[in-house]
Amino acid sequence: MKVKLWGTRGSIPSPGPETIRYGGNTSCVGVTLSDGSLLALDAGTGIRSLGLAIAAEPARLHILLTHLHLDHIQGLAFFAPAFRAQTEIVIWGPASPEASLRDRIARYISAPLSPVEVRELPCDVSFRHCPEAEWEIGPARIRAASVSHRGPTLGYRIDDGDSSLAYIPDHEPALGADLDTLEEDWISGLALARDASLLIHDGQYTDAEYPDHIGWGHSSLSHAISFARRSSARRTVLFHHDPMHSDAQLDLLAGEAQERWEELGSDPAEIELAVERTEYELPARAAAAAS
Amino acid sequence: MINLTQSEGSGFEGNRLVSPARSAAPAWLWQSQLSKVTTVTQRPLELILARNLMSALSTPAFLVDEGGVLVFYNEAAGMLLGKRFEELGAVGPDEWGSLFGPFDQSGEPIPYDELPLVVAVRNGRPAHADFEISSADGTRHRVEASAFPILTAHGSQGAIAVFWPATSNNGTPS
């Protein structure tokens, strides 16, 4: 399984010279399965670059949405494969008692917010609510679970052979909970992340910023570290950077994350901050290696 | 260079990261070296969030899952019962009735099927009752209990009951 980060920023695109290294595009991760099948995790503005990077093939691809906040769907209307008649796109996402996934996405891909409507997309697009049970896409087993964020939100786990990716980009598992002492089955998202080859997890706030953002649905550095430790994931990538954080600030945050990881007795190379366009190849049952 | 200070959190001051003082390794770190958990399943998120909320309340509150198993009660409930949840752990529907009652005004045990939590879980409807419970030291407490089901997109996932000191007709605690 190969993983590439196309958008690492949270909340709102943040282009500019101060964010050029970590990136300014919002959430999107491309996943190439062992049989070549392509998945996109979320469709923030990063998916525009993903769409430009893939050729006319594959004819079929899947987009797995964690939730429908704008920073996770904003790139959909600018995803080049959606404008190819020969492409089949399956969009998966959380169910809601309020409206279907298609109708909720159509609120964005419709006038006056968009120049095109969902029904006008040339591709063959379908919308599916994620099932409670595990399902398969190509050689991969996919699991989705509701996680602690604002509104219906999912985290995903993708198992392909012996390698596994856990993707929980918007997550506040510590809301009202002590991650260091709570039983494992009571921690939001932990079952998805357990022993993953690679965990991509929310790390939006510093510890000092978090008290002013309690309940906003995101993690502090300490919470992300606690969650990662309890998951026993082999490698952790902190994701969904705050739009106010410059490259220089994220460098410092990365340094602190690695220092604290080492203090817990682990290899500091096992934790890092997400950098746009970074690729990972997940070997079976071994530490992932960034290219 | 990271600057360690005495601040409680870590944040940026300009481009300088301010880090918190470090605490000792948490208990789970060394515990995990003793027994490695191989399979973890997540409780329904609605129950997780309910437990988190209840943990922050000063009102005695109880949480049961869809099977009627008492999966959590908060500190206020623990004070009422004379036993912390951490001491008792999750207990099935047959056990928690026998542990704490409840009893009607004549001192007779109330049938399990009539308890507000059970009504809420089974029928998916709110329920309210006035009864006595017995704490661990045998003290009886008269309470009013309001229970409501936790209904989700996947159906009923459990129920919450909140206890209040029962009041007399003039509104004072009885």
Q: Are residues B156 and B79 in the same domain?
A: yes
Whether B174 maps to a domain, the answer reads no
Q: Are residues B50 and B69 in the same domain?
A: yes
Strand segments, DSSP code E, in chain A are: 2-7, 28-32, 38-41, 60-64, 88-93, 124-129, 135-137, 140-146, 154-160, 163-168, 198-202, 236-239, 271-273, 279-281, 289-290
Using a CB-CB distance cutoff of 8 angstroms, which residues of chain A are in contact with residue B15?
A: 246, 248-249, 252
pLDDT of the residue at B10? 64
Q: B59: domain range?
A: 45-165
Q: Are residues B113 and B27 in the same domain?
A: no
Does the structure show a pLDDT above 70 at B146? yes
- pLDDT tens track for A36-68: 999 999 999 999 999 999 876 668 999 999 999
Whether B114 maps to a domain, the answer reads yes
Chain A touched by B24 (CB under 8 Å): no
Using a CB-CB distance cutoff of 8 angstroms, which residues of chain B are in contact with residue A210?
A: 9
Contact predicate A288/A282, CB 8 Å: yes
Whether B136 maps to a domain, the answer reads yes
Q: Which of A18, A130, A146, A180 to mutate to test the interface with B (most CBs of B within 10 A)?
A: A146
Q: Are residues B79 and B109 in the same domain?
A: yes
CA B34 to chain A, closest CA, distance in angstroms equals 14
pLDDT of the residue at B4? 28
DSSP A98: S
ipTM of the complex: 0.77
Whether B172 maps to a domain, the answer reads no
Q: Are residues B103 and B19 in the same domain?
A: no
pLDDT of the residue at A143? 97
pLDDT of the residue at A52? 94
Q: Are residues B29 and B51 in the same domain?
A: no
Instruction: Please give, one letter per residue, the 3-state secondary structure of B59-121.
Output: CCEEEEECCCCEEEECHHHHHHHCCCHHHHCCECHHHHHHHHCCECCCCCECCHHHCHHHHHH
Does the structure show a pLDDT above 60 at B21? no
- pLDDT tens track for A149-190: 998 999 999 999 999 999 999 999 999 899 999 999 999 999
pLDDT of the residue at A51? 96
Q: Are residues B129 and B72 in the same domain?
A: yes
Q: How many domains does chain B have?
A: 2
- Cβ separation of B12 and A245 shorter than 8 Å? yes
Does the structure show a pLDDT above 60 at A238? yes
Instruction: Please give the residue that has the higher pLDDT: either A223 or B23.
Output: A223
Q: Are residues B15 and B87 in the same domain?
A: no
Nearest CA in chain B to A244: B12
Instruction: Please give the residue that has the higher pLDDT: either B162 or B86.
Output: B162
Least-confidence region, from A7-16, A164-173, A248-257, B70-79: B70-79
Does the structure show a pLDDT above 90 at B54? yes
pLDDT of the residue at B170? 52
Closest CB to B25: pick one of A96, A255, A264: A264
CATH superfamily of A2-285: Ribonuclease Z/Hydroxyacylglutathione hydrolase-like (3.60.15.10)
pLDDT of the residue at B8? 47
Name the band, by pLDDT with cuts 50, 70 and 90, for residue B135: confident
- pLDDT tens track for A185-198: 999 999 999 999 99
Rounded to whole angstroms, the Cα distance separating B129 from A100 reads: 39
Whether B173 maps to a domain, the answer reads no
Q: Are residues B15 and B65 in the same domain?
A: no
pLDDT of the residue at B39? 60
